Structure 1
Amino acid sequence: MPEPDVVAAAIARNTRKLRAERQWSLERLAERSGVSKGMLVQIEQARTNPSMGTLCRVADAYGVTLAQLVELSDTASVRVVEADEVIRLWSGEEGSAGDLLVGVDRREHVELWRWTLAPGDRHDSEGHMEGTREMMAVLSGTLTLDVADQTYTVRSGAAVLFDGHRDHVYRNAHKRPLDAVLVVIQPTTGDPALPSHPG
């Protein structure tokens, strides 16, 4: 995993670049993202490691994925992401984690994640933009997935596909750790001012 200061520097560089491309002031970005100007200054100066929620709001404001916001280097036509380059964007107190492996912005925004959930841990996610789809493959353990008012059990070796625009929860209600791979696919909006990132 990259050191936190390396990730903060990448976020700072990418945030400044996206803002310059759009010719937005800090005030305009603050208004569009709901993130305070003071926090945005800290992000752009690499003086903080913002929360996943803050990063999602900034990515939404720009109409890009988290992957683009935290990209460590310029994207080539082929890019191998080494194990020490994987970026951890969420972690739980019990040792659970959500690692963004790689993402792309072309016709659609696509993100590939690696999730681990310790026994008894969970991750709650608000519904994403309309048209978002999520696919999760369970490598080991058992996933309990809550989507809207329904609960689904996805065992090791199985996979699930669901509409990500509804509130959903990933849970490990069992005694073994859960290891899974998640793909998030969201439509592009065509308008960088419209939210498009699934937080």
Structure 2
Amino acid sequence: MSDLELLTRSLGRNVKRWRTERGFTLDTLAARAGVSRGILIQIEQARTNPSIGTIVKIGDALGVAVTTLLDYERGPTVRVVPADQAVRLWHTEAGSHNRLLAGAEAPGPLEMWDWRLMPGESSDSDPHPVGTVELVHVTAGELTLTVDGVDHRVPTGASASFEASTPHTYGNRGDVPTEMIMAVSVPPVH
């Protein structure tokens, strides 16, 4: 079985599990996540490979980390993710990409990401649930972080934190690749 097939099956199984555990109908989850009921059915039946944006929306609506939705095995208390097993969910032909490094449910979803943005490229993010906090640390280049329409320069070695419940964009307006580590904390669903 290919990695993509494994991820697609894991996503379907885990979305259904968490939807059921939360007591959500397909219609309820669709409304909360802002995706169609039909796409949820296709995801739960492992018949589609949705975009990272769709996966994030579903995770936010369920109150679980993306890593939890993509996890294909329930592991021990300590889980080491080898570098070659980090999940790459977004990339461009120019070489920009992100990798989901690790995640946990503590007390809500907590994720750690590795990002690379090539010169002139950016990635837009829809607002996350109120209470979501993101932390970024730039390890190379310069990040232009746009939160609710306001640009913030984050140079190499600098960090930023922000409430991610408004539209935000990670951008590279420089002429060298931008590399950063990002942590996302989403409040638990009650």
Under TM normalisation by the shorter chain, which class is it? 0.7 to 0.9
1:110 corresponding residue in structure 2: 110
Q: Which amino acid aligns with 1:111?
A: E
Cα deviation for residue 50 of structure 1 reads 0.6
The answer to whether the aligner puts 1:131 opposite 2:107 as a matched pair is: no
Cα deviation for residue 149 of structure 1 reads 3.8
Q: Which amino acid aligns with 2:77?
A: S
> Cα distance 1:171–1:6, how it changes in 2: closer, same or farther (>3 A)?
same
2:20 corresponding residue in structure 1: 20
Cα deviation for residue 23 of structure 1 reads 4.9
User: Bigger CA drift: 173-182 or 64-73?
Assistant: 64-73
8 Å Cα contact 2:53-2:125 kept in structure 1: no
Provide the TM-score with structure 1 as the length reference. 0.84
- SS of the residue 2:186 aligns to: strand
Cα deviation for residue 28 of structure 1 reads 4.2
User: Bigger CA drift: 106-115 or 53-62?
Assistant: 53-62
The answer to whether the aligner puts 1:177 opposite 2:177 as a matched pair is: yes
2:72 corresponding residue in structure 1: 72
Contiguous gaps of at least 5 residues in structure 2: none
Cα deviation for residue 151 of structure 1 reads 1.9
**1-structure distance, mates of 2:30, 2:4:** 24
Contiguous gaps of at least 5 residues in structure 1: 192-199
Q: Could you say which structure has the greater relative contact order, defined with CA pairs below 8 angstroms and 6 or more residues apart?
A: 1
- SS of the residue 1:187 aligns to: coil
Cα deviation for residue 166 of structure 1 reads 2.7
Query: How many residues align structurally?
Result: 189
Q: Which amino acid aligns with 1:36?
A: S
Q: Which amino acid aligns with 1:42?
A: Q
8 Å Cα contact 2:113-2:181 kept in structure 1: yes
User: Alignment RMSD, CA only?
Assistant: 2.0
**1-structure distance, mates of 2:138, 2:45:** 38
**2-structure distance, mates of 1:10, 1:78:** 20
1:96 corresponding residue in structure 2: 96
User: What fraction of aligned residue pairs are identical, expressed as a percent?
Assistant: 39
**2-structure distance, mates of 1:180, 1:96:** 12
User: Bigger CA drift: 148-157 or 7-16?
Assistant: 148-157
**2-structure distance, mates of 1:36, 1:161:** 32
> Cα distance 1:157–1:47, how it changes in 2: closer, same or farther (>3 A)?
same
Q: Which amino acid aligns with 1:20?
A: T
